[in-house]
Each structure stands twice: as C-alpha cells, then as structure tokens.
A and B are shown apart, each in its own frame.
Chain A
Amino acid sequence: AQKVTQAQTEISVVEKEDVTLDCVYETRDTTYYLFWYKQPPSGELVFLIRRNSFDEQNEISGRYSWNFQKSTSSFNFTITASQVVDSAVYFCALSEAETNAGKSTFGDGTTLTVKP
C-alpha cells in the first residue's frame, strides 16, 4: 500500500530564513508521481509541483526547490528566503500510476509559520 510520511508537524521560522520540508514515501509501483500542495488559511489546495518516478532531476522555481531521491524514497521541498505569505500547511502526495489510476495519498501535512 502506498504511504506518505511528513514527520515535521509544525515548523516556525523567521522571515528570510531557508526552510526544508521533508517527505518520505512508500510504494511498490515502479511508476508513480509525487506532488506538493500548499493549503493557505483560506483552505484551498494549491498545486505546486509534480514529479514522475523516472525523473530524479532536482527542480527550482523561484524561491522553491525540490530534491527527489529514489534511493531514500524522499521528495523534500525547500523554500529559500521565506516570506510571511509562505505561511500555510504543505502537503506531500503520492499517486501510483500502475495500480490506482490517479488517486492521491497525502501526508498529514507540515504547518509552516513564517514570522516577520
């Protein structure tokens, strides 16, 4: 069965600090997708990134970067120079392509608080 673990329940940083959110996953499939979503206080889920299991290349998008390592089954998310607007709950999710046709399994989320 697929599983996603976000060990950090809450993280608090001061503005401009860098912060890394950890995500560890379990799956038996060889083809799968990993996602990060942001859920601000308003409640909507905002898609940030998707990676497939065959692409371990790290990705940078502005202040966001993602480190995908199959060897450790991890897909960590780093925010550089954090801002107050980054305060939200961040979810990591896994979707197995071979057995579950698109449905996602989410971690329990990490609540990030960025203080001014």
Chain B
Amino acid sequence: DTGVSQDPRHKITKRGQNVTFRCDPISEHNRLYWYRQTLGQGPEFLTYFQNEAQLEKSRLLSDRFSAERPKGSFSTLEIQRTEQGDSAMYLCASSQGQGLRNQPQHFGDGTRLSIL
C-alpha cells in the first residue's frame, strides 16, 4: 500500500494559464474524491468518481474546472484560465465504497497551487 499520491506537490503559475494535477489513488479503491482547501478553512468537496463515472460535482467546480478518471484508476483535475482565487491546496482522497457502505477516505499530501 503506497497510499494516495499526488503530483506535483507545488505548482506556481501566472494568472490565465492552464494547470493539470494528477492523483493516483490506493489501487483497490473504487472511489476517488477531489477537495480544495484554502487558508484557514477545512477542505471543501469538489467532485467524486466511482470507478470511471463522475457522480457528483460541487457548485464550487466552475466551468473552468474539469476532472477525469478515464480508466477508473488515476484522476486528473484541470483548471483553465487560472484566477487568483484558485490559489489553494488541492487534495485528493480515495476510499472503498459501495452504496451506503463507505470506508474512511485516505488523503494524499495535496498539490499547492499559487497563482501569481
């Protein structure tokens, strides 16, 4: 068990650029979640996948954000035309779950995005 892996750990970019983050969940986990954490707040839910299906998206996820999990394994989160307000820690988590039965989420170390 290598845990949830996120890449990169840090990303600094200019406003208006596109960025993409990657998350590799624990291999046997079928659920994958993306959260955003801004300074002084707890993580906020963005979206989640069960296998390759994206089942829910938060209203926080504007049309500049898109997430994929094409083969039900790793996932990518892309932000287009980044804005200052996108600066945050982006956390990925995975868990094993089916219906109402959910195991605890395991979180990655996050990708810290800084917009210049």
Q: Are A102 and B105 in contact (CB under 8 A)?
A: yes
Q: Is the interface of B mostly helix, strand, loop or mixed?
A: strand
Complex: chain B residue closest to A99, CB-CB: B100
Question: What is the distance, in angstroms, from B96's C-beta to the closest C-beta of chain A?
Answer: 10
How far is B41's CA from A106's CA once the two chains are assembled, in angstroms? 9
* B-facing residues in A75-99 (Cβ within 8 Å): 91, 93, 95, 97-98
Residues on the A chain within 8 Å of B107, using CB = 37, 44-45, 47
In the complex, identify which listed stretch (B13-21, B43-51, B65-73, B76-84) lies at the interface while the others stay far away.
B43-51
Asked if B25 is at the interface of the complex by the 8 Å CB criterion, the answer is no
Asked if A35 is at the interface of the complex by the 8 Å CB criterion, the answer is yes
Residues on the B chain within 8 Å of A91, using CB = 42-43
Residues in chain B within 8 A of chain A (CB atoms): 31, 33, 35, 40-45, 48, 50, 55-56, 89, 91, 93, 95, 97, 99-102, 104-110, 112
